[in-house]
Structure 1
Amino acid sequence: MFRFTQSSIADFIDLLFPILCLGCKNSLSANERVLCTACRISLPETGQHMEPYDQNHLNKFAGKVPIQFLASYLYFTKAGVVQNLIHSFKYKGQKEAAKELANWYGHQLKSECKQLEDIDVIVGVPLHKSRFQQRGYNQADWIAEGLAEALDVPMRTDLLIRNEFKESQTRKNRLERWENVKTVFAVLNSELVCNKNIVIADDVLTTGATIEACAIELLKAGCKSVRVLTLATAHR
């Protein structure tokens, strides 16, 4: 009786159901994950971790909340590869892609950035429980997990909660976004936050209103410092 080897079965399944690059939609080879080599090489990296005090980004929080460090991995442009990636894990269930990208970024940060050497914990921007149930996961937690693995620090989901459900931020301006989120977050246990250097992780940095609201609650609870890492930001 003819028997497939395990690798032959895997090759046969890949032939019938090829895993596609989330950038260009071409088939991935056996050693590629999320993106093909060509798409990964062409990713629009910001390099912001090499210039952590870039005022164009920190000015989003100037006079509002002290953010000690802020960096995003990629530049986001409409209809570009990065938008495809964000949409794939935010709306199409590809949560593992969020973790993989964050892991790539985390390894880069570990070797090239000294601003994160003393961090104690990474938290993802939380979803309200009803949105979590609807989506089935929180993409920010998967980003936080990917970063935490690469940076070799803990990631926690029990420090910060979103206690109110609010409508989408997508079409709101900076003031509207702030009004929409300024009271929705809360720290669950201040003892776990007190005197800690905390990184807030999220998918895209836009106006910064959501990050600001999270940071305010963490600092009120006695957090020592807040730093921010996102996978993408608008190209300035």
Structure 2
Amino acid sequence: MFHDLLNLFYPKICNCCETELVSHEKIVCTTCLHQLPLTNFHLDNENTTKKVFSGRLSIENATSLLYFKKKGMVQNLIHNLKYRGNREIGTYLGQWLGEELAKTRNYTQIEVVIPVPLHRKKLKSRGFNQVEDFGKEIANCLNAQYIDDVLVKRSATTTQTLKKRLSRWGSIDETFFVENQDKVVNKQLLLVDDLITTGATMEACVSKLQKINGVKISLASMAITD
């Protein structure tokens, strides 16, 4: 009764279109759920996400759950996660992708899931890393460990979205560092992030992680720019 009363005064709304959710709906309404632009990249090991890093990185596999378009429903999802603190979105997307990856041979050997880290100042101001719950759910689905103290970010950088890849590389490469590497020596890692645009952030992270002895690295994100 209390839950019904709470919904009466504070109704849950769809994180894509902002219509009110009905009792059986969660995070997104049924209409938006069927319209979300799925990539299905996990079914194709030569997919767009992997091609973004072709010739730049040596990675095992790469995938993204959704296509991202400006002013689209996926942008609304990620905005509500990052800036409105709706952490349930990260859990929802992580469980969704994690269950798909668990059916795919290329990802069943993953032993450790690592998030792209935030600088401590941004972490303090936001209160959480937007990929934390996403990564934890994927790790749970793959029976892997979630470890967030191996890859760290020590320099605060301004938003990178408007910068070209080559100009970004110099500033991003020196912001990430590896600690506690003994936790992942000779492990198969899955690096996770929210959105892949140029790929410069993940490229910088992978370049650091690949210095650890014996690691094999795959990538996964909530979305990739279309």
Please say whether Structure 1 and Structure 2 have the same fold, judged by a TM-score greater than 0.5: yes
Q: In structure 1, what residue type is equivalent to 2:69?
A: T
1:170 aligns to 2:161 (yes or no)? yes
Q: In structure 2, what residue type is equivalent to 1:42?
A: Q
Paired with 1:188 and 1:204, the residues of 2 have a C-alpha distance of: 24
Q: In structure 2, what residue type is equivalent to 1:30?
A: S
Q: CA deviation at 1:165?
A: 1.1
Q: In structure 2, what residue type is equivalent to 1:142?
A: D
The TM-score, its normalising length taken from structure 2, stands at: 0.95
Q: CA deviation at 1:13?
A: 1.1
Paired with 1:24 and 1:85, the residues of 2 have a C-alpha distance of: 9
> Which of residues 13, 19, 37 is equivalent to 1:20?
13
CA deviation string 1:181-229 (max 9, x = no partner): 1111111112112111000000011111111111111110224211000
Q: Percent identity?
A: 34
Unmatched 5+ stretches in structure 2: none
Q: In structure 2, what residue type is equivalent to 1:98?
A: G
CA deviation string 1:16-56 (max 9, x = no partner): 110111011111122221111221121100011111123x4
Counterpart position of 1:130: 121
Secondary structure at the aligned position of 2:221 is classed as strand
Counterpart position of 2:76: 84
1:227 aligns to 2:218 (yes or no)? yes
Asked whether the 8 Å contact 1:23–1:84 carries over to 2, the reply is yes
Counterpart position of 1:202: 193
CA deviation string 1:48-87 (max 9, x = no partner): 1111123x43343233320111110000111111010011
1:41 aligns to 2:34 (yes or no)? yes
Asked whether the 8 Å contact 1:98–1:142 carries over to 2, the reply is yes
Counterpart position of 1:32: 25
Q: CA deviation at 1:90?
A: 1.4
Unmatched 5+ stretches in structure 1: 1-7
Q: In structure 1, what residue type is equivalent to 2:173?
A: K
The TM-score, its normalising length taken from structure 1, stands at: 0.91
Q: In structure 2, what residue type is equivalent to 1:119?
A: I
Asked whether the 8 Å contact 2:112–2:184 carries over to 1, the reply is no
Q: How many residues align?
A: 226
Asked whether the 8 Å contact 2:110–2:142 carries over to 1, the reply is no
Select the structure of larger CA radius of gyration: 1
Q: In structure 2, what residue type is equivalent to 1:53?
A: E
Paired with 1:222 and 1:65, the residues of 2 have a C-alpha distance of: 16
Q: In structure 2, what residue type is equivalent to 1:140?
A: V
Counterpart position of 1:58: 50
Paired with 2:214 and 2:201, the residues of 1 have a C-alpha distance of: 17
Paired with 2:214 and 2:88, the residues of 1 have a C-alpha distance of: 30
Counterpart position of 1:10: 3
Counterpart position of 2:60: 68
Counterpart position of 2:99: 107
Q: CA deviation at 1:150?
A: 2.3
